[in-house]
Structure 1
Amino acid sequence: MKKFFTPLFFITCIILLAACSRGIYRSETKDLETLIKRLTKKGSDDKVLADIRSVYEPALQRAQQNISNYRYDAPPQKWDRMIPEMQAMQQMFDIINTNQYAVRMIKPVNFYRNIAEAKDSAAADWYNYANDYFERAGRNNYKEAFEAYNKSISYVPNYKDARQKMQEAFDRSLIYVLVNQVQYDGFGFNNNWNWNNYNSRDQQLQNQIIRDLGGRNNRNIPAYYFNEWDLRRENRAPDMVIDMVWRNMRSDQPRDRTRNYNRSKKIETGRDTANKPIYQTVTATVYVTERYLEANADMNIIFTDAKNRTQVDWQAIPASYRTSIEFATYSGDRRALEDNDWNLINRGQNQPLPNREEVFEQLMRNIYNDLLNRIRRVTGW
C-alpha cells in the first residue's frame, strides 16, 4: 500500500523539534539550579553570580533570537516551536526568582504573559486549522481535524467547542469492520490437518479477536468490529473486511535427538581392620533422548475496502513453535546416579506431545498480540 505524507506528519515533526528545543536548555537549567542553591547558601558571592550570568544570559539571547525567527513561520505550527522556548526561559526565571539578590543583579525576563498570549493564539490557530479539515470531510481529513482540535485544547483547555468537534470528527470517522473467521491455505501434518473439524473453535477464536479489539464498544480508535451475523443485526454493510489466512503451515513429525554423559561417585563399601572406611569408585552412563516437535506458519492479514473492493493492506506475521520432552535410560552402577538422573530415567517414554489442535493454538497464541496491534493500526488512524 502506498504511504503518503499528510499534514499530520509535518505536525509530528514540529512537535519533535519543539521537544528538542526544550532539551537544549535542560543542562543549562540544571546548572542554574545548582548555582542558585550555592548562592542562597552563601548569601552573596560575586563569582557565583558571574557564573549564573554566564549561564542565563546566553540562553536568554538564544531563546529570544529563536522566538523572533519562529514568528515568521506558518501558523499554527510555529507555536509548537515558540512556546517551548518561552517555557524554558520562564523555568529559568522561576529558578532565579527564588533568590532576591540574584533577581536584583541578573534582572531575569518574566515570560508569563508572553506564554499566556501565545497559548491563546496557538489555540485559535489550531482550532481554525482543524475547522478547515473538518469542513473538507473524509476520514483522513477528520483525522487531521481531530489531532488539530486536540492541539488546540492542549494549549487552552475547553477552547470554544473544540472538544465537542473533536468527538464529532472521531464519530464521523467510524468504520464498521467485518472480521472473518480464520482460514487455512496450503498447510499440513503430511498435508492433512483436517481443520474442517474445528469450525466451532474457529468461531470462538473469531469472537475472541473481535471482543479483544473492542467490538461495538471500542472507544480508542474510530472502528467497530463485528462478525457477519452481528453486522447483519446492525443492518449495516461493512466498510472494511479483514481476512486472516494461515499459510505455509508445517509441522514436522516428532524427532529424537540423543546425548549421553557419565557419572562417577566414591561410595563406602566397608571398613578395614583399623575401622577406617573403604571406598570404591562406581560409574554409570546416562543416555538422554530429547523428543521434539517444531511447527511454523505465516498468518496473512488482508484488509479490503468493502465499498470499492480494493485491497487496503496486506501483512504477514511469521509464527513458530517448538516443544520437547526428555527421558533417559542408563547402564552401569545405579549407585553412581544423582537425583536429576533419576528424574529423567523415571519419566515414561510415551509422554504425549501436543496434538494438531494444541499446536495451532500455540502458534496463534505466539502471534496474537501482534495480530491485534496490526489490525488496530490499519483500521485506526
Structure 2
Amino acid sequence: MKKLLPIFLLVTTLYSCRTNRIPNEEKDLLSLINRLNKKGSDDKLMAEIQNVYNSGYIKAKQRLDNYQYDPVPAKWDRLIAELEGIQRMYDIVNRNAYAIRMVKPVNVYPRLMATKDSAANDFYYYASDQLLLNTRAGNREAYYAFDKAMQYVSNYRDAAVKMKEAFDKSIVQVLVNNFEYDVLGLGSFGWNSLNGRDRQYHSNMIRDLGGQGSNSIPARFYDQYELRRNGKSPDFVVDLIWRNVRFDQNPDRNRTYNRSKQIETGKDTANKPIYTTVVATVYVTERELNATGDLNLIITNTDTREQVLWDRIPSNYRYTYEFARYTGDKRALDNNDLTLINRSNNQPLPSRDDAMGEMIRRIYDQTVNRIRNTVSW
C-alpha cells in the first residue's frame, strides 16, 4: 500500500475524470422512463425498460467483480464510479411506481457509502504514515491523500486538520534578491538605473508570489530587509541576474513613395465637374531601438547548496518611430501621410531605462510562475 499509493495518486484522478460519464444505458433508461410517465402503462415499453436496465446492471456488475482485484488506490475510483452508475439507474427507475415494481432495481446505496468509507480510510492512514516521515515530500503526499479522503467522505475524521498540519510543516522561507545586472560596457547602468522601476517590479514580484501570507503554496517570500526583520533564515534563495543586455540603435532608414489623387477643380460649360490630378512625394524616416537580454533565474537550496533551477529567460523590446516630410501638392495626401508629417523629427527614442523596464515587464509573469512552481510542491 505504501509503495503503490504515490504512484497512483495522479492516476486515480485521471481515471475518475474519464469514468464519470453517463453510460448509454442510463440515457436510454431515462428516455424510456419519461415516455412511460407520459403514457401511464405500456407493456412493450416496460419490456424495453427491463432489457435496458438488466443489460446495464449486468455490465456494471461484471466490471465491479473485475475491479475488486485491482491494486489500491486505483480500484477505489473505479468501484465507486460503477456503484454510482448502478445507483443512478435505480434512481431513474424509481421515478415510476409501476417500473419500480416490475424491474425491481438494485439499491446499492449502502454498499456505495461503505466503499467510499473504505477508500477514505485507506487514504487517511496512508497520509498519516507519510506525515510521520517529517519530510517535505512526505508532507506533500500526506496533504493530497488527506484531501482525497475528504473527497470520498466529507469532513472525514480530522483530515482537514491534518491537511493544514501537512501544509504548515512544508512551508519554506524564500529570499528573492533584487535584480542584478551583469552587463559590461554599459557604464553605470545597473541597480537604481531604472528610476526605481526595477525596485517596483521586485516588490510586485514578492507580492504576487504571495508574500508572507501565501495560502496557495507552502512558501513565504521575502526581500532581504523583511527576512532580517522577521528573523528568518532562507530555505531557498532566488537570484535575478540580467546578462547579454544590448541596446542597439540602428541608422535611420528612409523610404519614399508617391501619392496621386484626382480632385475637382471646376465646372465645364455643361456644369459637369472638371478633375485635375495632383501628386505628392512622401519621404519617410524610420528610427528604431532594439533591446535584448537574458534574465538568469537561479534558485538555490540553502541546505544542500544545490541550484534547483537555473533558467535563462530571454526578453526583447523593439521600438520604432516614423516621421515624414513631403513635396508636391498637399491635397494628394491621405490621413496616414499627414499623421507622419505632423510628427516631430526630434522625438527621442526610449531611454535604456525605458527599454530595460519594458523587457522586465514582458517576462514578469513567466518569471513569477517559474519561481512559484520551483519552490512549491
TM over 0.5: yes
Identity %: 49
Q: Which moved more, 1:43-52 or 1:60-69?
A: 43-52
Gap runs ≥5 in structure 1: none
Instruction: Return the alpha-carbon distance in structure 2 between the equivalents of residues 12 and 137 of structure 1.
Output: 22
Amino acid at match of 1:276: K
Instruction: Return the alpha-carbon distance in structure 2 between the equivalents of residues 358 and 48 of structure 1.
Output: 76
Matches within 5 A, 1:218-257: 218-254=214-250, 256-257=252-253
Shift of 1:65: 2.0
Q: Please tell me whether the aligned partners of residues 323 and 342 of structure 2 are also in contact (alpha carbons under 8 angstroms).
A: yes
Q: Please tell me whether the aligned partners of residues 76 and 129 of structure 1 are also in contact (alpha carbons under 8 angstroms).
A: no
Aligned residues: 374
Matches within 5 A, 1:1-381: 7-23=5-21, 25-45=22-42, 48-49=45-46, 52-53=49-50, 55-186=52-183, 191-192=186-187, 194-198=189-193, 200-254=196-250, 256-381=252-377
Deviations 1:145-178 (A, max 9, x none): 0111111112222221111111111111111111
Instruction: Return the alpha-carbon distance in structure 2 between the equivalents of residues 280 and 228 of structure 1.
Output: 74
Shift of 1:322: 2.1
Secondary structure of 2:72's counterpart equals coil
Instruction: Return the alpha-carbon distance in structure 2 between the equivalents of residues 118 and 127 of structure 1.
Output: 14
Extract structure 1 runs of 4+ deviating beyond 6 A: none
Amino acid at match of 1:16: L
Q: Please tell me whether the aligned partners of residues 20 and 81 of structure 2 are also in contact (alpha carbons under 8 angstroms).
A: yes
Q: Please tell me whether the aligned partners of residues 278 and 332 of structure 2 are also in contact (alpha carbons under 8 angstroms).
A: yes
Q: Structure 1 residues 101, 180: closer, same or farther in 2, change over 3 A?
A: same
Q: Structure 1 residues 218, 270: closer, same or farther in 2, change over 3 A?
A: same
Shift of 1:11: 0.8
Secondary structure of 2:20's counterpart equals helix
Deviations 1:245-291 (A, max 9, x none): 12222232145444444433221212222332211122223333333
Instruction: Return the alpha-carbon distance in structure 2 between the equivalents of residues 41 and 261 of structure 1.
Output: 77
Instruction: Return the alpha-carbon distance in structure 2 between the equivalents of residues 69 and 316 of structure 1.
Output: 50
Instruction: Return the alpha-carbon distance in structure 1 between the equivalents of residues 252 and 105 of structure 2.
Output: 77
Instruction: Return the alpha-carbon distance in structure 1 between the equivalents of residues 137 and 163 of structure 2.
Output: 14
TM-score where L is the length of structure 2: 0.89
Amino acid at match of 1:273: T
Amino acid at match of 2:190: W
Instruction: Return the alpha-carbon distance in structure 2 between the equivalents of residues 285 and 310 of structure 1.
Output: 64
| RMSD across aligned positions (CA) | 2.6
Q: Which moved more, 1:251-260 or 1:339-348?
A: 251-260
Shift of 1:61: 2.5
Q: Please tell me whether the aligned partners of residues 214 and 224 of structure 1 are also in contact (alpha carbons under 8 angstroms).
A: yes
Secondary structure of 2:212's counterpart equals helix
Gap runs ≥5 in structure 2: none
Q: Structure 1 residues 329, 166: closer, same or farther in 2, change over 3 A?
A: same
Q: Structure 1 residues 244, 41: closer, same or farther in 2, change over 3 A?
A: same
Q: Please tell me whether the aligned partners of residues 7 and 144 of structure 1 are also in contact (alpha carbons under 8 angstroms).
A: no
Q: Structure 1 residues 11, 197: closer, same or farther in 2, change over 3 A?
A: closer
Instruction: Return the alpha-carbon distance in structure 2 between the equivalents of residues 259 and 103 of structure 1.
Output: 85
Instruction: Return the alpha-carbon distance in structure 1 between the equivalents of residues 243 and 54 of structure 2.
Output: 65
Q: Please tell me whether the aligned partners of residues 176 and 239 of structure 1 are also in contact (alpha carbons under 8 angstroms).
A: yes
Shift of 1:99: 2.9
Instruction: Return the alpha-carbon distance in structure 2 between the equivalents of residues 15 and 83 of structure 1.
Output: 13
Q: Structure 1 residues 35, 229: closer, same or farther in 2, change over 3 A?
A: same
Q: Structure 1 residues 48, 136: closer, same or farther in 2, change over 3 A?
A: same
Q: Structure 1 residues 62, 320: closer, same or farther in 2, change over 3 A?
A: farther
Q: Structure 1 residues 274, 98: closer, same or farther in 2, change over 3 A?
A: same
Instruction: Return the alpha-carbon distance in structure 2 between the equivalents of residues 331 and 213 of structure 1.
Output: 57
